[in-house]
Every structure is written in structure tokens, then in C-alpha cells.
């Protein structure tokens, strides 16, 4: 069996930055075990598999160790591959996923994802969270992930977490965030998820489902520009639209190949 794959750097307009994802467009589903083994073989934060079905493109995402219910950068990468490598002519692609209906639209030279908004609720600062992050914490909220607000953009950049301690917290991952120090970005963030095999994700679309409503309320703005300040880094162009968020960015193809299964 020969399976064609494409590696895409998402949320960037140049190679070797943003967040890399592997994309497979399949004619039919492989077994869950085989898709998990393929994701482990590539050893990227996410490998996406897409299959054309009656309702649209069905998409699933796998880290090297587990399937996840939602992934932004690999959805962006999948749409890019379907548009650029497989000739999809519509300006909007509809996806079916474990998190419901998603879509990606070509808009002003970028790809714009339509995801559910996940406003966080207040949790309160705890000693365990501060110790896990090795930094002073301003506020703690939670949605699908733990959202931790730090004092400044520099504090986010300087954060050196204890990954073993983070993996013991009762959330899939931890987002740290702060208001941007300069006019270019409204807010910055980083994302740590060692419990699902990702010590730090370079750029994470799905975390912005709760970051966008949080910062929209804090800054009284509906359109925001964000930066995920990992080592690779990536820009995200965000809008809050009721109970949905729009998350936009660029993508760059860096490799294509064929996986050979004996």
C-alpha cells in the first residue's frame, strides 16, 4: 500500500517556522491503530487524515501518542493541501470532526478557520499551577484547556515549565498568555501539553477558541492579532463572531512523499 503525504508549516508564510503538520488525503479510513502508528512514525505534534464523505471532508487528528478532538494548525494544513495539491475549487471547505462542523475559507490571501468559541471560566490561582509553571501567575481560568494569565509578554517568553508537573494537572494542556507589549500583537501565548505527547506546541489554533473570547472581552475588541511565541513562532489573525471564532493564517508546503506499507 502506498499513501501520499504532505508536510505543511501552518501559521507562517515561510518554511521552518510556524507549526508543522502531516496531511494524508485518504480514499477510505485506515484502522485507528494504523493511523496512530503512522502519526507516531512522523513524530510531529499532529498528523491529519481526511476522507471525502457525503457531508464534506471528515477530518481526524493524531498526536504521536493519541487522537485528539480538535486541532487548528493541522486543519489549516489540510485545507491548504486540498486547495493547493488536490485542486479543490470552492473557496470554502466544510469539515466534519469530533468537535462538530468546521470550515476553512480562502480570504484575502489567508486561510480562515471557523471554530466554536470556548469562553473560559474563572478558576483561581493555586500553588500547584504556579509551581508547575515556575513563574508568578496573575489569573487562572479554564475551558477545554487550562488558561493561565501572566504579567507580561516577556513573562510568557521566559516561562520554563516543569513538564512532569504539568502532565499531572487535570487538563490536556496549559496555555500561558499575556497582553502584547507592542502595537503589532494584541496578545501572545504558548501551549504546553506533555500529557498528550507535546511538551510545547509551536503554534496552536485550537487554544485560540478560548483565547479569542477571553482577550476580546479584556481588550473590548472583536478583531485581534495574536502571536504564539514558541521557538518557531507563528501569527494568527482572529475574530470573535458570536459563539464562533475565526482563526486565520498562512501555510507553506515543505515536503511531499509516499509512505510505503508492506
Q: What is the DSSP letter of 194?
A: G
Burial class of residue 180 (count of CB atoms within 10 Å of its CB; 0-12, 13-18, 19+): buried
- In whole angstroms, what is the distance from residue 23 CA to residue 31 CA? 16
Half-sphere exposure of 61 (CA within 13 A, CB side): 24
Residue 46 annotated in active site: yes
Rounded Cα distance between 141 and 209, Å, is: 13
Task: Please identify which of the residues 33, 46, 151, 241 carries the catalytic annotation.
Answer: 46
Task: Name, in order, each residue with C-beta under 8 angstroms of 245's C-beta and a sequence gap of 6 or more.
Answer: 114, 115, 116, 117, 208, 209, 212, 213, 238, 239
Residue 22 in grid coordinates: 502531516
Q: Which residues are catalytic?
A: 46
Amino acid at each position: 500500500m502506498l499513501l501520499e503525504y504532505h508536510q505543511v508549516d501552518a501559521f507562517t508564510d515561510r518554511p521552518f517556522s510556524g507549526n508543522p503538520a502531516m496531511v494524508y488525503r485518504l480514499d477510505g479510513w485506515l484502522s485507528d491503530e494504523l493511523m496512530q502508528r503512522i502519526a507516531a512514525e512522523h513524530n510531529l505534534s499532529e498528523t491529519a487524515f481526511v476522507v471525502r464523505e457525503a457531508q464534506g471532508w471528515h477530518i481526524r487528528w493524531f498526536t504521536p501518542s493519541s487522537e485528539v478532538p480538535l486541532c487548528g494548525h493541522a486543519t489549516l494544513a489540510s485545507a491548504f493541501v486540498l486547495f493547493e495539491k488536490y485542486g479543490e475549487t470552492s473557496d470554502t471547505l466544510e469539515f466534519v470532526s469530533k468537535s462538530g462542523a468546521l470550515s476553512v475559507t480562502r480570504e484575502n490571501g489567508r486561510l480562515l478557520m471557523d471554530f466554536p468559541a470556548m469562553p473560559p471560566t474563572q478558576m483561581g490561582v493555586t500553588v500547584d499551577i504556579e509551581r508547575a509553571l515556575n513563574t508568578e501567575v496573575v489569573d487562572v481560568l479554564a475551558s477545554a484547556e487550562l488558561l493561565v494569565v501572566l504579567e507580561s509578554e516577556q513573562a510568557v517568553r521566559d516561562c520554563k515549565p516543569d513538564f512532569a508537573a504539568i502532565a499531572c494537572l487535570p487538563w490536556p494542556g496549559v496555555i500561558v498568555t499575556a497582553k502584547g507589549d507592542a502595537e503589532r500583537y494584541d496578545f501572545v501565548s504558548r501551549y504546553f501539553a506533555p500529557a498528550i505527547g507535546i511538551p510545547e506546541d509551536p503554534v496552536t489554533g485550537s487554544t485560540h477558541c478560548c483565547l479569542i473570547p477571553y482577550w476580546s472581552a479584556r481588550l473590548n475588541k472583536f478583531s485581534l492579532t495574536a502571536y504564539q511565541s514558541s521557538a518557531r513562532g507563528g501569527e494568527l489573525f482572529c475574530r470573535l463572531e458570536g459563539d464562533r471564532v475565526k482563526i486565520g493564517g498562512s501555510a507553506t508546503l515543505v515536503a511531499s512523499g509516499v509512505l510505503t506499507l508492506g
